[in-house]
């Protein structure tokens, strides 16, 4: 029900103030004085009276302003009795709406109206009697049949609808929780997968570089292998007369120098062939280890979870497995010969031959 405003309006408040001042001037006339006090009380608590007198405002509220203005213009007994009857009806509803007892001024006004009701007109006495006997029942009936109370009558139906709605919400919430759990598991799985994507890609890039190094090493092996045979073939060709040298004129000294040059060149070429071969072996070992680590990235997370669970029961259950899986396939390349490895041995050999 929409709240109706009467006593809070500026016109009614002004009329209440003016009428109250005029009536309270008659201290010897108790009804007029008590009515003036009542109007003053209503003016001071206009909001409260509006809230608690909604039915009376709807039924007789339109007469209040006219009756107040009539008192200001003419304070004869008839206007006083009519206004007192109207205010009395408001007080009855106000009393019904209050949990507390009425104030002393309000009780005094009710008492004087009842005491002097014999002086009122027949219509006013009927209004007073109606306010005392029938109006409370009419107000209660009006309140009981209001839309708000009607909703309370249907509280069981409303409760059933609310329960069905809550059940629907619970079903939706349960399905949402199940979906959330599935998404969480899926997200966890993707997180585990992507945690090792970057690492695997890094290994793949290293493997690509090592493959290039391996290709170069194999090319060098072919080149040095072919060059190792070249000095000996050249010497044979020269000695057998394929060149311009006369074999009959070659002395032991010349043959010795030619042999030293051939052997030195062949040994040097073989040395670099050996370096290329070791480089190729090292690249092959590195590729094997990189591919092993790329494979480990596929199951390392699941293995970590499983090993954590099983090691709580038996700490040595996976020790042999880990020793095989995570051990190196071959030794590292720290044993590769340097570029000048064996150079001192070649120099000593050349000096011993030349001294002879």
What are 262-300's pLDDT values in tens digits? Answer: 777 878 888 888 888 888 888 888 787 777 777 766 666
Do 147 and 163 share a domain, yes or no? no
Q: Of the segments 114-123, 189-198, 329-338, which one has the largest average pLDDT value?
A: 114-123
The whole domain housing 54 covers 10-152
Residue 273 located in a structural domain = yes
Do 184 and 328 share a domain, yes or no? no
Residue 62 located in a structural domain = yes
Residue 341 located in a structural domain = yes
Do 116 and 140 share a domain, yes or no? yes
CB atoms under 10 Å from CB of 45, counted, come to 15
In terms of pTM, does the model score above 0.95? no
Domain boundary (167, 191, 215) is at: 191
Confidence (pLDDT) at 342: 43
Confidence (pLDDT) at 244: 52
Do 83 and 223 share a domain, yes or no? no
Q: What angle do CA 196, 202, 206 make, to 5 degrees?
A: 145
Mean pLDDT on 27-33: 89
Domain boundary (134, 152, 170) is at: 152
Mean pLDDT on 226-255: 64
Q: Which residue has the higher pLDDT, 147 or 92?
A: 92
Structure tokens at 38: 């009542």
Do 219 and 288 share a domain, yes or no? yes
3-state secondary structure the chain: CCCCCCCCCHHHHHHHHHHHHHHHCCCCCHHHHHHHHHHHHHHHCHHHHHHHCHHHHHHHHHHHHHHHHHHHHCCCHHHHHHHHHHHHHHHHHHHHHCCCCCCHHHHHHHHHHHHCHHHCCHHHHHHHHHHHHCHHHHHHHHHHCCHHHHHHHCHHHHHHHHHHHHHHHHHHHHHHHHHHHHHHHHHHHHHHHHHCHHHHHHHHHHHHHHHHHHHHHHHHHHHHHHHHHHHHHHHHHHHCCCCCCCHHHCCHHHHHHHHHHHHHHHHHHHHHHHHHHHHHHHHHHHHHHHHHHHHHCCCHHHHHHHHHHHHCCCCCCCHHHHHHHCCCCCCCHHHCCCCCCCHHHHHHHHHHHHHC
Residue 110 located in a structural domain = yes
Do 208 and 335 share a domain, yes or no? yes
Residue 4 located in a structural domain = no
Confidence (pLDDT) at 66: 94
d(CA 279, CA 210): 10
Report residue 181's pLDDT band, with 50, 70 and 90 as the boundaries.
confident
Do 125 and 171 share a domain, yes or no? no
Q: Is the pLDDT assigned to residue 328 strictly greater than 60?
A: no
Contacts within 8 Å (CB) and 24+ apart, 10-15:
11/65, 12/46, 12/64, 12/65, 12/68, 13/43, 13/46, 15/65, 15/68, 15/69, 15/72
Q: Which residue has the higher pLDDT, 184 or 87?
A: 87
d(CA 324, CA 181): 37
C-alpha closest to that of 132 among 110, 116, 152? 110
Q: Is the pLDDT assigned to residue 27 strictly greater than 50?
A: yes
Q: Is the pLDDT assigned to residue 192 strictly greater than 70?
A: no
Do 142 and 208 share a domain, yes or no? no
C-alpha closest to that of 119 among 80, 62, 161, 172? 80
> Any idea which of 23-27, 131-135, 275-279, 342-346 has the lowest mean pLDDT?
342-346
Residue 83 located in a structural domain = yes
Confidence (pLDDT) at 253: 60
Do 103 and 238 share a domain, yes or no? no
**Structural domain count of the chain:** 3
Structure tokens at 23: 């009536």
> Any idea which of 2-6, 86-90, 310-314, 344-348 has the lowest mean pLDDT?
344-348
C-alpha closest to that of 97 among 51, 52, 130? 52
Mean pLDDT on 321-339: 50
Do 187 and 237 share a domain, yes or no? no
Do 324 and 342 share a domain, yes or no? yes
Q: Sign (positive/negative) of CA torsion 41, 44, 47, 48?
A: negative
Residue found by looking up tokens 């074999």 in the block = 247
> Any idea which of 43-47, 218-222, 337-341 has the lowest mean pLDDT?
337-341
Residue 3 located in a structural domain = no
Asked if 54 and 94 touch (Cβ cutoff 8 Å), the reply is: no
Q: Is the pLDDT assigned to residue 340 strictly greater than 80?
A: no
Q: Which residue has the higher pLDDT, 307 or 267?
A: 267
Residue 5 located in a structural domain = no
Do 162 and 113 share a domain, yes or no? no
Confidence (pLDDT) at 256: 72
Mean pLDDT on 182-193: 65
Residue found by looking up tokens 């070429």 in the block = 269
């Amino acid at each position: 029900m929409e709240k109706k405003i009467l006593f809070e309006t500026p016109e009614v408040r002004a009329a209440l103030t003016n009428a109250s001042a005029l009536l309270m001037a008659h201290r010897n006339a108790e009804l007029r004085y008590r009515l003036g006090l009542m109007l003053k009380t209503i003016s001071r608590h206009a909001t409260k009276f509006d809230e608690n007198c909604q039915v009376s405002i709807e039924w007789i509220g339109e007469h209040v302003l006219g009756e107040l203005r009539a008192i200001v213009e003419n304070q004869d007994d008839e206007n006083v009795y009519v206004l007192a009857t109207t205010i009395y009806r408001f007080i009855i509803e106000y009393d019904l709406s209050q949990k507390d007892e009425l104030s002393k001024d309000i009780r005094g006004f009710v008492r004087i109206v009842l005491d002097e009701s014999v002086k009122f007109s027949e219509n006013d006495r009927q209004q007073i009697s109606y306010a005392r006997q029938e109006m409370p029942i009419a107000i209660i009936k009006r309140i009981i049949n209001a839309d708000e109370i009607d909703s309370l009558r249907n509280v069981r139906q409303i409760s059933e609808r609310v329960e069905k709605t809550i059940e629907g919400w619970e079903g939706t919430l349960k399905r949402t929780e199940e979906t959330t759990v599935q998404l969480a598991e899926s997200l966890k799985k993707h997180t585990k997968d992507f945690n090792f994507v970057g690492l695997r890609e890094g290994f793949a890039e290293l493997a690509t570089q090592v493959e290039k190094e391996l290709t170069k090493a194999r090319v060098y092996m072919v080149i040095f292998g072919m060059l190792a045979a070249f000095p000996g073939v050249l010497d044979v060709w020269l000695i057998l007369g394929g060149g311009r040298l006369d074999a009959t004129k070659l002395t032991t000294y010349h043959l010795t120098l030619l042999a030293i040059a051939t052997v030195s060149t062949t040994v040097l070429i073989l040395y670099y062939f050996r370096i290329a071969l070791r480089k190729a072996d090292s690249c092959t070992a590195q590729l094997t280890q990189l591919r092993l680590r790329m494979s480990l990235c596929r199951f390392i997370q699941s293995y970590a979870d499983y090993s954590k669970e099983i090691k709580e029961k038996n700490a040595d259950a996976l020790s042999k497995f880990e020793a095989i899986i995570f051990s190196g396939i071959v030794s590292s390349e720290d044993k590769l010969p340097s570029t000048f490895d064996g150079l001192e041995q070649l120099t000593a050999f050349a000096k011993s031959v030349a001294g002879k």
